[in-house]
Amino acid sequence: MKNYGYDFLSVPAVKEELIPENSSVKEAVTLLAEQKAKEVAESYPDAVVIGADTVVALDGRIMGKPKGETDAFNMLKSLSGRVHEVLTGVCILSPDKRHTFCERTEVEFYPLGDDKINAYIRTGEPMDKAGAYAVQEYGALFVKRINGDFFNVVGLPISRLAQELEAVVNIKNNLM
């Protein structure tokens, strides 16, 4: 956000993320963003707080961060040659307002051979990434097509967030 003219403080939420059973992917990611925003807002009650969470989903199921190399391999193999969704839930909290939204982007992977998947896993990159890949790093080599906001796949739909900040709490960037 600094690259786009916003002054802010980054404060990570640390509490356990809780998703109610039978939540849709959209409901889950929006709820996670709201949980994060509320946690941080407790320490900054007079500030505008933005909470966000991004997930990768295939066939309506959330793919978290891999638990190990086998899990990473299985995730990437399941994404191979297929279209999946990346959803980011965002919650904007101010002292007098609460606004949430969800941005959805479709990503299609090229078919991936086992050797290519294993080479990627050896880089270590997939181990702390939802869906076991990072589109802004080596994982970009797997992407055939993106339908929607590229920055959403990176983890924050900055353009939509800028629009929402201006409309909801009248915060503008320092560039324009």
Count the Cβ atoms, other than its own, within 10 Å of residue 68.
10
59 is catalytic: no
Q: How many residues in the chain? A: 176
- The single-letter DSSP state of residue 17 is P
Q: Hey, what long-range contacts does 111-120 have (CB within 8 A, 24 or more apart)? A: 111/80, 111/81, 112/76, 112/77, 112/79, 112/80, 112/81, 112/142, 114/73, 114/77, 117/73, 117/76, 117/77, 117/80, 118/73, 120/76
CA 8, 166, 169 angle in degrees (round to 5)?
A: 75
Type of residue at 115 = D
**DSSP element (H, E) containing 108:** strand 97-109
**DSSP element (H, E) containing 13:** none
Q: Of 7, 46, 53, 59, which is the active-site residue?
A: 53
Q: So which residues are the catalytic ones? A: 53
